Structure 1
Amino acid sequence: MAPRSKTASKTASKTASLTASAATSAVSSTYPSRAPSPTRQPFRFLDLPPELRLRIYEAVLHTTRPLDLDPTNHRTVLPRLALLLASRQLHAEAYPVLYAQPLRLYPTNARFHRTTRPLLARLPPHYRAAITTLELRLGPDWSQPPACQNTHPSLGLADCASLRTLKILVELDPSDAMFEGHRGRGAGRDTYLRFCVGLLRGVVAQVASLETVEIDAWPGVKRDAALVVALQREVVGAGLRVAWGPLRGWGTEGGAVEVGLEKGMVGLMLGGGPRVVAVRG
């Protein structure tokens, strides 16, 4: 067989190259590359509808417990706050969502419970204005309440223009007979009760927007405990709505007596109603 000419060899090589290129193109079209397209644009979060952005803010910013001074905040709260630093618009939209969740009025953690400045006092006024719910725990340090448990104007209650609900959790009632001999020097049966009612009065006096006071308690506290009754009477006397928290189920059917009926029964002294302590200013 005669040897192939150089021209024929070049033609065959070029044909093979074109065939391989076509096959490669076919495979590429069947299995496109996963490499990002140079024209792909970043996700435009602010183009989402405002309602959807608010849902995302809630999912990112809401915690499972009230906002408070706590040693674990650097793990549970601080990472969430990075959202507020993304832009001015995100900050303006997100911080009302952050402070729409309950905020504890006085810290309960042992590291901060005797601080002179609770979380509310540390917030700027525009953050305080976004708060809708405060939580007040009654019972910790009952024999000697720390100095931070007060309603001094420096606490910033007057700035809470959006506050609608005050949640009160009664952890114990030192008025109970079981505390006889353990109330401390100079403390009587109703010393702590009067202190707690004073805190409630201070909040009510400074927060004109307050509408509802929710009262709840730990299992050791009875529905007719003197502290619970005194708080309820104070709320009713201020013209606010009384609600019952979920822990004890006092607000469920058969669990609690209607406020109006109970007041009438106490006035008539029917059935030896709960002991009522009149707290005067």
Structure 2
Amino acid sequence: MAPRRPQRRAIRTAVDPALPTPDQSTETTPVSSAFPSAYPSEAENESDAEEGILSAPMTPPATGAVVPQTPPKKRRIPEKPFRFLDLPSELRVEIYALHFEGIDQVVDLDSDNYKRVHKKLAIFRTCRTIYHEASHVFYSTHTFRIFPTQPGRFFKTKKPLLARLNTNQRRSITSLELRLGPGWNRPPRGWVVNAALGLSECVNVRQLTVFVECDPSDSVFKGFRKADGFYETFSRNLLDDVLAEMPFLDRVHFDAWSSVKKTGAMMTGLLEVARARGRKICWGPERGWSEDEEEDEGGQRDQHEQTMAQLQAAMAFLGTT
């Protein structure tokens, strides 16, 4: 005998049986109602109004109504770059001079040149015209030291500053300085006047300053000198070689520290060389010498302490080299 199937119980809705059951509509839903309406509902309008969103009207404005128009965008006109070379040459020269401010008046071989000088010279790479103008301003407004005096590797170099410049740069130089005193007991081998130095190409030099830092003939140097008259002779020969390479130079400016005597062996020999070469002698502002000045030997003796200080500085310099 087959088992009896359990009778299915009618599924009761969760609706309260006391409420009437809705009748199913016999009318079919139109196809158009299956798509969303293109008009916003009242709930959407209220929501947009609360959020501050104003929707554009779907119907055209009435006749005579003013329609707000969006202002046209201004066309951007490209700015033309400033043409530096359009300035007068006088103004360009002034700008070059301002650009080179911060560089020492006397330029020497120094390890700090990369920070103070090299970055300023980057203007030479702009173009050919600016290179010629700016380089002429730089080399004609600064004094260049013939032989390096800064302690370190440059002091003993065989290639001084002038030898590192090209012909055009040397021709722009108007002022040179020969400093005597460093290495008075053993001058560097690089202090030699030759063709590689390029003095003969410095045709526009109008001022040569010979600055004497110390006079080894003074008695305070006794016992430290390599030989009597050694550095004085070396200095005279060096100045004579410099003047021989520069026949176009008509005058020499002499200056010194306060401990140097005009009547000492050092200055006497240098003045004789300048006069023998037919050069006019001028005096620098540091020492304050004049043509008619007579040395006061008594006053010079009072400067013994200053001389000793200069000697100590020379000894410290000699120790670093």
User: TM over 0.5, yes or no?
Assistant: yes
Give, in whole Å, the separation in 1 of the partners of 2:155 and 2:58.
98
Shift of 1:7: 4.8
Runs of 4 or more consecutive aligned structure 1 residues displaced over 6 Å after TM superposition: none
1:176 pairs, out of 218, 226, 239, with 218
Shift of 1:238: 1.6
Q: How does 1:43-54 map to 2 (within 5 A)?
A: 43-54=82-93
Match of 1:131 in 2: 173
Q: Which amino acid in structure 1 is aligned with residue 155 of structure 2? A: H
Q: Which amino acid in structure 1 is aligned with residue 291 of structure 2? A: V
- CA 1:10–1:243 in structure 2 vs 1: closer, same or farther (change >3 Å)? farther
Match of 2:3 in 1: none
- 8 Å contact from structure 1 (residues 105, 134) kept in 2: yes
Shift of 1:8: 4.7
Residues 1:194 and 2:236 aligned together: no
What percent of counterpart residues are identical?
38
2:275 pairs, out of 220, 236, 243, with 236
Structure 1 counterpart SS, 2:188 = coil
Q: Which amino acid in structure 2 is aligned with residue 85 of structure 1? A: R
Match of 2:120 in 1: 80
When normalised by structure 2's length, the TM-score is 0.67
Match of 1:278 in 2: none
**Residues 24-59 of structure 1: CA distance to partner in whole angstroms, max 9, x if unpaired?**
x9xx9xxxxxxxx63321111111111221222222
Q: How does 1:249-260 map to 2 (within 5 A)?
A: 249-250=288-289, 256-258=290-292
Q: How does 1:1-281 map to 2 (within 5 A)?
A: 6-8=59-61, 14=67, 17-18=68-69, 38-61=77-100, 63-100=103-140, 101-111=142-152, 112-184=154-226, 187-188=227-228, 190-250=229-289, 256-258=290-292
When normalised by structure 1's length, the TM-score is 0.76
Structure 2 counterpart SS, 1:103 = strand
Q: Which amino acid in structure 2 is aligned with residue 113 of structure 1? A: F
Give, in whole Å, the separation in 2 of the partners of 1:160 and 1:258.
32
Could you tell me which runs of 5 or more consecutive residues in structure 1 were left unpaired when the two chains were aligned.
29-36, 251-255, 272-281
Q: Which amino acid in structure 2 is aligned with residue 182 of structure 1? A: F
Structure 2 counterpart SS, 1:129 = helix
Q: Which amino acid in structure 2 is aligned with residue 73 of structure 1? A: N
Structure 2 counterpart SS, 1:77 = helix
- CA 1:11–1:98 in structure 2 vs 1: closer, same or farther (change >3 Å)? same
- 8 Å contact from structure 1 (residues 212, 242) kept in 2: yes
Q: Which amino acid in structure 2 is aligned with residue 138 of structure 1? A: L
Give, in whole Å, the separation in 1 of the partners of 2:199 and 2:58.
99
Q: Count the aligned residue pairs.
A: 239
Name which of structure 1's ranges 217-226 and 148-157 shifts more when overlaid on structure 2.
Answer: 217-226
Shift of 1:98: 1.7
Greater share of helix: 1
Name which of structure 1's ranges 171-180 and 122-131 shifts more when overlaid on structure 2.
Answer: 122-131
Match of 1:274 in 2: none
